[in-house]
Amino acid sequence: MSELQKDKKPILLSGIQPSGHLALGNYVGAMRNWVNLQQDYLGIFIVVDMHAITVRQKPADLRNRCLSFAAQYLAAGIDPDENIIFIQSHVPQHAELSWVLNCYTYMGELNRMTQFKDKSQRHGDNINAGLYTYPALMAADILLYQTDLVPVGADQKQHLELTRDIANRFNNTYSPTFKVPEPFIPKAGARIMSLQEPDKKMSKSDTNENNYISLLDPPDVLRRKIKRAVTDSAREITPESLHHSGIGNLLTIFSVLNDMSLEAVANQFEGQQYSVLKGELADSLVAFLEPFQQRYSKIIGEKGYLTDILDQGAGQARYLATKTLSKVYRKIGFVPAGRS
Ligand code: AQP
């Protein structure tokens, strides 16, 4: 801990729910930016299992996925010696602060959250209170660590704005307690769309696996999914293609993987058949994901190494979280434990 604290770098925090299969959308919207920003920030990267149970999960799958997602964070290039990586439920302060923040969050605010509306539709048989109060837990995740920056995809912007409102409300009611975090939403790829239904975002728990690219898909599956991706009846790429949902999404993915601007990609493929773009995109994906998958296989095969990193991360997180939570409890008037 002391080494990490000495740096006094600003804090960057982000998390992903261990539901479904980590998908290209999650990589582009979130993980890629974690890796790019880790030089300048102390990164806190969480596998948010407590959020995942707002939707029913099979216990054995959830357990395996927590480890698999942590291994994928590392395979993506997160340096565990310079950042803090842990599983949310290993740090009980998240649940504790979440309860407090629930009491500073209005139902009117929660009613406006589009993710709640979406997920209530998708899981109509299980619209539970956790799904509804999810943003208060997310606010706790972020505010516990006095976070400066939160890299997220565009879909999480609304939750982050609510986090800022809750922090300001608490600070104004008592005195400055929480840092008010800034969002980091990537310029390109903030919303990667579904391959088969390109008007909705790519989601890692989609029941149709042809809708998303899993970071662990083998090359033949990657090629097949790209080949089958829905486009439109025009066959040739024009500058207008950028504004058409299906083909525009493929151009966006190509631009992100090849670190090119969208305009440069549209120029490169102008006048070409869609099938040419699909072929080159599949090659880029395979070239990008093969080394990622090799690193992943090595890490997931060394369970001791992974669990040591997660244990160390949870210890570091508990240390930081306790500082904020004690401050909060003192300000709201809770009697300090051990002095009653
Ligand atoms: N399609 C996307 N494009 C860009 N960014 C995305 N993110 C998710 N989908 C896209 C970003 O990935 C992070 C993971 O978020 P999460 O798992 O906590 O929740 P989510 O937003 O609900 O992600 P999914 O993939 O849609 O998960 P499921 O299907 O399991 O609910 C966030 O930073 C998010 O912005």
Q: Which atom of ligand 1 is nearest to the CA of 151?
A: 33
Return the percentage of the chain with pLDDT > 70, whole number. Answer: 97
Split at pLDDT 50, 70, 90, the class of 189 is confident
Q: Would you call 119 a catalytic residue per the annotation?
A: yes
Closest C-alpha residue for ligand 1 atom 7? 26
Higher pLDDT, 30 or 321: 321
Q: Would you call 201 a catalytic residue per the annotation?
A: yes
Amino acid, single-letter form, for residue 90: H
> What count of other Cβ atoms lies within 10 Å of the Cβ of residue 37?
16
The pLDDT tens digits for 280-299 are 999 999 999 999 999 999 99
Query: How confident is the model at residue 42, as a pLDDT?
Result: 97
Catalytic residue selected from 58, 201, 298, 303? 201
Q: Classify residue 10 as exposed, middle or buried by CB count within 10 Å of its CB (0-12, 13-18, 19+).
A: middle
Q: What is the mean pLDDT of residues 156-176?
A: 97
**Rounded to the nearest whole angstrom, what is the distance from the C-alpha of residue 22 to the centroid of ligand 1?**
9
**Rounded to the nearest whole angstrom, what is the distance from the C-alpha of residue 127 to the centroid of ligand 1?**
19
Start-to-end CA span in the chain (Å): 31
pLDDT at 32 over 70: yes
Split at pLDDT 50, 70, 90, the class of 122 is confident
**Rounded to the nearest whole angstrom, what is the distance from the C-alpha of residue 271 to the centroid of ligand 1?**
33
Closest C-alpha residue for ligand 1 atom 16? 16
Query: How confident is the model at residue 7, as a pLDDT?
Result: 61
Q: Which atom of ligand 1 is nearest to the CA of 23?
A: 25
The pLDDT tens digits for 42-90 are 999 999 999 999 999 999 999 999 999 999 999 999 999 999 999 999 9
The pLDDT tens digits for 129-153 are 999 999 999 999 999 999 999 988 8
Query: How confident is the model at residue 338, as a pLDDT?
Result: 78
Closest C-alpha residue for ligand 1 atom 26? 203
- Which residues of the chain form beta strands (DSSP E)? 11-16, 42-47, 84-87, 149-151, 182-184
- Cβ(26) – ligand 1 distance below 6 Å: yes
Query: How confident is the model at residue 336, as a pLDDT?
Result: 87
**Rounded to the nearest whole angstrom, what is the distance from the C-alpha of residue 297 to the centroid of ligand 1?**
23
Domains and CATH numbers, the chain: 3-185+302-332 (3.40.50.620), 209-297 (1.10.240.10)
Closest C-alpha residue for ligand 1 atom 8? 26
Split at pLDDT 50, 70, 90, the class of 154 is confident
Query: How confident is the model at residue 339, as a pLDDT?
Result: 60
Q: Which atom of ligand 1 is nearest to the CA of 20?
A: 30
Query: How confident is the model at residue 187, as a pLDDT?
Result: 80
- Cβ(19) – ligand 1 distance below 6 Å: yes
CB 10 within 8 A of CB 4: no
pLDDT at 3 over 80: no
pLDDT at 30 over 80: yes
**Rounded to the nearest whole angstrom, what is the distance from the C-alpha of residue 268 to the centroid of ligand 1?**
30
Q: Which contacts of 69-73 are long-range, i.e. CB under 8 A and separated by 24 or more positions?
A: 69/16, 69/18, 69/22, 70/306, 70/309, 70/310, 71/296, 71/299, 71/300, 71/306, 72/22, 72/31, 72/215, 72/216, 72/292, 72/296, 73/31, 73/34, 73/45, 73/47
What is the pLDDT of the chain when averaged over all its residues? 94
Query: How confident is the model at residue 4, as a pLDDT?
Result: 59
Q: Which atom of ligand 1 is nearest to the CA of 153?
A: 35
Q: What is the mean pLDDT of residues 148-171?
A: 94
**Rounded to the nearest whole angstrom, what is the distance from the C-alpha of residue 152 to the centroid of ligand 1?**
8
pLDDT at 340 over 70: no
- Cβ(25) – ligand 1 distance below 6 Å: yes
- Cβ(192) – ligand 1 distance below 6 Å: yes
pLDDT at 111 over 80: yes
- Cβ(30) – ligand 1 distance below 6 Å: yes
- Cβ(248) – ligand 1 distance below 6 Å: no
CB 139 within 8 A of CB 170: no
Catalytic residue selected from 157, 204, 227, 298? 204
- Ligand 1 pocket mutation pick from 121, 200, 204 by most atoms within 8 angstroms of CB: 204
The CA distance from 176 to 167, in Å, is 9
